[in-house]
Amino acid sequence: MNKKIGLKEAISIGIGGMVGGGIFAVLGLAVSLAKGGTPIAFLWAGLLALITSYSYVKLSLHYPDRGGTVKFINQGFGKSVFSGAMNNLLWVSYIIMLSLYASAFGSYAPNLWQITHDKSLDFHIYASGIIVLATAINYYSIAVVGKIESYAVIIKLIILIGFIGIGAYGLMENPNIEQLAVANWEPFIHLFAGGMVIFVAYEGFELIANAAPDIADPSRNIPRAYYTSVIFVIVLYVIIALVTVGSLPFQNIAEAQDYVLAEAAKPLLGQVGFTIITIAALISTFSAINASLYGGSRVNYEIAEDDELPHHFLAKFWNHPIGLLITSIATLILVNVLKLESISTAGSMGFLLIFGIVNLTGFRLAEDTGSNKFIPLIGFVLCMTALVVLIQQQYRTNLLGILISFGIIAGCFVMEYLFKRSERSRN
């Protein structure tokens, strides 16, 4: 008999899924987009995640399944081209998140140890190397993945909370605190768009859905796990943003965009603080890559089991599901080809669309799940509005990222349509 997951463990899954590599990867990008209003941008993104978590709570209680989001979408729309395309997009979004985490690892690692004295080349070596290492760990021992994640959650939270405590202590005396004034905020629409670009920093709460069948006393613990983890991370991110913007001049943040959290530790703790935060970033991104590789390969397997991908994806390579190999190779390509903003944009677009569809599922199945139809409807409208705002904002500044995102979404629909058509002709 499997051991049941308690409330603390369930909350840890949610927090660990969100506070992975996301905050280390996108904080500098958020400041570049929102300036002094960066805490508001994180708040907007967090509120959208919190509203969406309501749909996840109701669906997880009524349809507990290790397939999580995949199963919810199939419940709402049947096994159609649409649901298959959305589930394939979920898998691709996992790959994009892996690229984001590897990108963060590759940006922070050269600050500790330079290999070639060329930061650009070091970035590619570290980002690629960590994916290969995590793939090997996933292949040889899933138990090791779990141990790494459990220890990493504790370590990174201790370091981040320590950063907040020390940073907040010296914040009032720091002249850069004036950057937080409303006069230094970007226009409202830019703050909202900035929040949507960094929405990927919150997507990990959906991992609780995959654990739902194993959570003890689900009617009590599942809602608490979702809401506690999301609210905790909203507060954590907003305070980190406040401390960062209040500690460093905007110019310094721009120069250190890819490793800004480590740079923000310098004013009070000097090089020691910089090194500690860099180590925290490496631990966090490594654990996030490990967990996401496992999750991504499992999602791929679940989709194939539901006949929404060819059954070739159920095949094994050296006694391990082939999805692990495909996910790793695709991640290696993305992280070495795309820039951070394009990766973040593609990931946020993918998850905004997926979460919008999960909210729509929550609305359509409200009577079955005993939900208030109004909340998932608001979630759906907000996700779609956020998607439109994100596209408009990024179209002007990051056209390549938008084109790549549309190409990925269109590719998922084409792939699913061709697969379904081939299945019908075969039968």
DSSP string, 204-264: GGGHHHHHGGGBSSHHHHHHHHHHHHHHHHHHHHHHHHHHHHHHS-HHHHHHTGGGHHHHH
Q: Tell me how far apart the alpha carbons of residues 355 and 273 are, in angstroms, rounded to a whole number.
A: 37
Output the pLDDT for position 28.
86
The CATH number for 50's domain is: 1.20.1740.10
Instruction: Determine, yes or no, domain membership for 357.
Output: yes
Instruction: Determine, yes or no, domain membership for 1.
Output: no
Output the pLDDT for position 359.
96
Q: Is 427 exposed, middle or buried (0-12, 13-18, 19+ CB in 10 A)?
A: exposed
Its sign, for the CA torsion 69, 298, 387, 203, is positive
Number of domains in the chain: 1
Q: Which residue(s) pair with 215 in the sheet? A: 5
Instruction: Determine, yes or no, domain membership for 396.
Output: yes
Instruction: Determine, yes or no, domain membership for 2.
Output: no
Instruction: Determine, yes or no, domain membership for 276.
Output: yes
Q: Which domain holds residue 138?
A: 7-421
Instruction: Determine, yes or no, domain membership for 427.
Output: no
Would you tell me the crossing angle of helices 188-197 and 22-34 to the nearest 10 degrees?
Answer: 160
75-131 residue pLDDT tens: 999 988 999 999 999 989 889 888 988 998 999 999 889 988 888 899 999 999 999
Output the pLDDT for position 1.
43
Q: Encoding tokens for residue 299? A: 């999602």
CA-to-CA separations, 185 to 31, 34, 200, 245, 272, in angstroms, rounded: 10, 6, 22, 11, 31
Phi, psi dihedrals of residue 217, rounded to the nearest 5°: 45, 60
Phi, psi dihedrals of residue 320, rounded to the nearest 5°: -135, 140
DSSP classification of residue 116: S
SS3 316: strand
DSSP classification of residue 68: T
Q: What stretches in the chain show pLDDT beneath 50?
A: 1
Output the pLDDT for position 124.
94
Contact 125, 115 (CB under 8 A): yes
Instruction: Determine, yes or no, domain membership for 185.
Output: yes
Q: Tell me how far apart the alpha carbons of residues 361 and 40 are, in angstroms, rounded to a whole number.
A: 29
User: Closest Cα to residue 262, out of 126, 177, 159?
Assistant: 159
Contact 89, 409 (CB under 8 A): yes
Instruction: Determine, yes or no, domain membership for 426.
Output: no
Output the pLDDT for position 427.
64
* 0.75 surpassed by pTM: yes
Q: Tell me how far apart the alpha carbons of residues 407 and 18 are, in angstroms, rounded to a whole number.
A: 26
180-217 residue pLDDT tens: 999 889 888 888 888 888 888 898 898 889 888 889 99
